[in-house]
Amino acid sequence: MARDAEDTKRRLLDAAADEFAQRGIAGARVDRIAAAANANKALIYSYFGNKEDLFDAVFNALVVDTVHDVPIDASDLPGYAGRLFDRNLSRPQALRLAIWHSLERGGAAALPEAVTVANQGKVEAIAEAQERGEVSRTFPAGELMVLITGLSIMGSSELAMTYPSDVTERRRTVTEAVRILTQGDKS
């Protein structure tokens, strides 16, 4: 693809990320995305397909970025949870798209490929750390992954039922909870 086309595609993905993060799937408007990217609407259909396809492309790209920027370190899961916590606060788009996906498409909807791949990688890393005796075997690796990623969003305003707390205290709560849940019986 020519450089111009790559540039346009990148601008469209960035504009779509903003639009979907703010308004979700039903509320997003393809015209608004095209206008924000200073591109022709027809290019969206040509590059990505329909609005649902575009959402999937954006969601996948955001998940790939997150996994790249915040790789799991199964030898230090409290530290990993803290970095995910920071990421969800500083760049909440991936989290917001994940929640829109669940709310609007329902729980039975398939997760984007990138999420499945990312989850599998995390579970394998945790299972290996359990085999090395570094992480408690109280929970199966898959359940521990769910606990850690779930706890890491508890500072985010995207998640309801928060309770007043300054961000430093909430971060300490999250990392300390992960520390407690991953120590214990390692035999």
For a copy of itself, the binding residues (CB under 8 A) are 23-24, 26-27, 95-96, 98-103, 106-108, 115, 119, 123, 138-140, 142-143, 145-147, 149-151, 154, 156-165, 169-170, 173, 176-177, 180-181, 184
- Residue closer to a copy of itself (CB basis): 1 or 161: 161
Tell the smallest beta-carbon distance from residue 72 to a copy of itself (Å).
13
DSSP secondary structure letters along 132-147: TTSS-SSS-HHHHHHH
Look up residue 33 and give its two tokens.
């995305």
- Residue closer to a copy of itself (CB basis): 46 or 116: 116
Tell the smallest beta-carbon distance from residue 42 to a copy of itself (Å).
27
Q: Residue 70 CB: number of other CB atoms within 10 A?
A: 17
Tell the smallest beta-carbon distance from residue 6 to a copy of itself (Å).
29
- Length of the chain measured in residues: 187
- Residue closer to a copy of itself (CB basis): 1 or 163: 163
**Side-chain-facing half-sphere of 77: CA atoms under 13 Å:** 28
Tell the smallest beta-carbon distance from residue 131 to a copy of itself (Å).
19
- Residue closer to a copy of itself (CB basis): 1 or 108: 108
Residue type at 61 in one-letter notation: A
- Residue closer to a copy of itself (CB basis): 45 or 142: 142
Tell the smallest beta-carbon distance from residue 89 to a copy of itself (Å).
10
Q: Residue 121 CB: number of other CB atoms within 10 A?
A: 14
Burial 7-43 (b: 16+ CB within 10 A, else e): ebbebbbbbbbbbbbeebbeebebebbbeebebebeb
Residue type at 178 in one-letter notation: V
